[in-house]
Amino acid sequence: MSTPPSSSGVDVTHPAWDPGREIVLDPGSPEPLYHQVSQQLHAAIEDGRLPAGARLGNEVDLAANLRLSRPTVRQAIQTLVNQGLLVRRRGVGTQVVRTKVARPLRLSSLFDDLAGLGGKPESVVLVNEVEDADAKVAELLEAPGLTRVRRLKRIRSTGGEPLALMNNYLPDGIIDPTDDELRERGLYQLLRSAGVRLHAAEQNIGARLATEEDAELLDEPPGAALLTMQRTTYDDTGRVVEYGWHVYRASRYAFNLSLTNGPQ
């Protein structure tokens, strides 16, 4: 290093990081500059160039080195702070807290999760039809006047072993999937490619014992422990696009959450 040993070294453990040669920007790209910076910092944290505890140089110098304005650099850093990867302290600087990717618990379905893990999910479609909606279903979908709903009932497996039994209601007309499409892709994927902008979901996670029907469908003994999840999904107009109640074999599945203390 060309850095002279400073007598008042705050950071014997980690020298402040110099992004000069590490981060390359393409001003012509349609990708915003702050996003380019943010992603490359993220990558540097993930692959160990920026280990936990490492200090970033101060924002002013960073901006100068990258030939960007300070707000732009701040915006890049802010996204990583929101993800819980960095911590800022006034008068101190910015430090890497954790290397592990703390997924901020995005909107993703079981299918997405399994596919992301490399396991290839399989599906059996038991029910996929449009039927009349009674008042109770209309209330679940928060659409008082609703008369027709699509009902889904599927079994999700991996490695030939059942994993979950999934029931869903969707307002009629949102998507019109074939059984094949339901087998090939997850519900969220189908919704997204139909132009639905998924925005938020409320989930309720509990547990109960397997009934006779559960047991048979999931290949568990009656009375086995099951994980249950009810979910209401909203699009960005506030409309309910899906209500689901799922049960998972507790012996094969658990929910994994990463929480972060975002900006107060």
Partner DNA sequence: TCGGAGACTTTGTCAAGACATATGGACATA
Partner DNA sequence: TATGTCCATATGTCTTGACAAAGTCTCCGA
DSSP H helices in 67-134: 70-82, 110-116
Q: Are 122 and 158 in contact (CB under 8 A)?
A: yes
Contact status: 194 vs DNA (CB under 7 A):
no
Q: Are 155 and 126 in contact (CB under 8 A)?
A: yes
CA gap 240, 254 in Å, rounded: 26
Site string for a second copy, 29-68 (x = CB under 8 A): -----------------------xx---------------
- Applying CB under 7 A, among 1, 12, 67, 261 the residue interacting with DNA is 67
Contact status: 8 vs DNA (CB under 7 A):
yes
Shortest approach of a second copy to residue 111 CB, angstroms? 16
Shortest approach of DNA to residue 70 CB, angstroms? 5
> Nearer to a second copy by C-beta: 60 or 101?
101
Phi, psi of 190 (to 5 degrees): -65, -40
Binders of a second copy: how many residues, by CB under 8 A? 49
Residue by residue, what is the 3-state secondary structure of 151-173? EEEEEEEECCEEEEEEEEEEECC
> Nearer to a second copy by C-beta: 234 or 243?
234
Site string for a second copy, 216-255 (x = CB under 8 A): -------xxxxx------x-xxx-----------x--xxx
- Applying CB under 8 A, among 25, 64, 87, 215 the residue interacting with a second copy is 87
Contact status: 197 vs DNA (CB under 7 A):
no
> Nearer to a second copy by C-beta: 131 or 202?
202
Site string for DNA, 92-111 (x = CB under 7 A): xxx-----------------
Contact status: 193 vs a second copy (CB under 8 A):
no
Residues in Cβ contact with 20 at an 8 Å cutoff, skipping those fewer than 6 apart: 65
Contact status: 34 vs DNA (CB under 7 A):
yes
Q: Which two tokens stand for residue 118?
A: 């490399």
Dmax (CA) of the chain: 78
Contact status: 79 vs a second copy (CB under 8 A):
yes
Bridging pattern class, strands 55-56 and 240-249: unpaired
Of 42, 77, 50, nearest to 62 by C-alpha is: 77
Shortest approach of a second copy to residue 170 CB, angstroms? 18
Q: Quick one: angle between helices 70-82 and 59-66, nearest 10?
A: 120
- Can you name the residues that pair with 206 across neighbouring β-strands? 228
Contact footprint for a second copy (CB under 8 A): 52-53, 71, 79, 82, 84, 87, 95-98, 102, 104-107, 198-209, 223-227, 234, 236-238, 250, 253-263
